[in-house]
């Protein structure tokens, strides 16, 4: 199942597709319908990507080129949902973001930036006090 970040990204991508298709097709209603069609059409590719399927490119190609036939779309969907060796699972962006070392580095970066901000505030305050003393 997709986590919250993936769902938000999917929703944003869907909104962008709706807007672009609306511009090209000349109306929000037409763009929305076309975006729904594209979403349903590419659903097997999304499933394989969200599962980290090792055959992601092949499934996406099958879906893209033969998905217009009902057989091609069903074949891509079945392939995307099929079991596979988890040791061959492809890493996804959201997997990288869950890395504890990355979180620790991010927390260190944030605390360092907060400290730098405090130092800048102190420096600016000192400079403004010196300017006010000179006047």
User: 3-class SS at 135?
Assistant: coil
pTM (2 d.p.): 0.57
Ranges of residues in the chain with a pLDDT under 50 are: 1
Q: How many domains, the chain? A: 1
What pLDDT, on the 0 to 100 scale, is given for residue 95?
Answer: 63
Q: Is residue 44 part of a domain?
A: no
- From the CB of residue 114, how many other CB atoms can be counted at a distance below 10 Å? 10
**Does any domain span residue 125?**
yes
Q: Is residue 63 part of a domain?
A: no
| Among 72, 109, 98, CA closest to 6 | 98
Residue range(s) defining the domain that contains residue 124: 99-135
**CB neighbours of 95 closer than 8 A, spacing ≥ 6?**
52
Flag whether 35 is in a domain: no
Kindly state whether residue 22 falls inside one of the protein's structural domains.
no
Query: Residue 79 has what pLDDT?
Result: 94
Contacts of 24 (CB under 8 A, 6+ apart): 31
Residue 23 lies in a domain: no
Residue 64 counted as domain residue: no
pLDDT of residue 96: 60
User: What totals of helices (H) and strands (E) does the chain contain, helices first?
Assistant: 7, 0
Model pLDDT, residue 78: 95
Distance in Å from the first CA to the final CA of the chain: 65
Those residues whose C-beta lies under 8 Å from the C-beta of residue 72, and which sit 6 or more positions away, are: 62, 63, 65, 66
pLDDT of residue 80: 92
DSSP 59-100: HHHHHHHHTTSHHHHHHHHHHHHS---GGGPPP-HHHHHT-H
Residue 11 lies in a domain: no
């Amino acid at each position: 199942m997709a986590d919250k970040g993936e769902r938000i990204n999917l929703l944003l991508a869907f909104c962008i597709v709706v807007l672009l298709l609306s511009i090209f097709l000349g109306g929000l209603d037409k763009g929305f319908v076309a975006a729904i069609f594209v979403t349903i059409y590419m659903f097997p590719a999304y499933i394989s990507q969200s599962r980290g399927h090792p055959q992601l490119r092949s499934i996406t190609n099958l879906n893209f080129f033969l998905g217009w036939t009902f057989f091609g779309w069903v074949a891509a969907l079945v392939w995307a949902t099929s079991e596979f060796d988890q040791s061959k699972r492809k890493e996804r962006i959201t997997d990288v973001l869950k890395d504890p070392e990355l979180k620790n580095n991010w927390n260190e970066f944030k605390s360092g930036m907060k400290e730098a901000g405090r130092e800048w505030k102190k420096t600016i305050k000192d400079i403004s006090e010196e300017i006010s003393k000179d006047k």
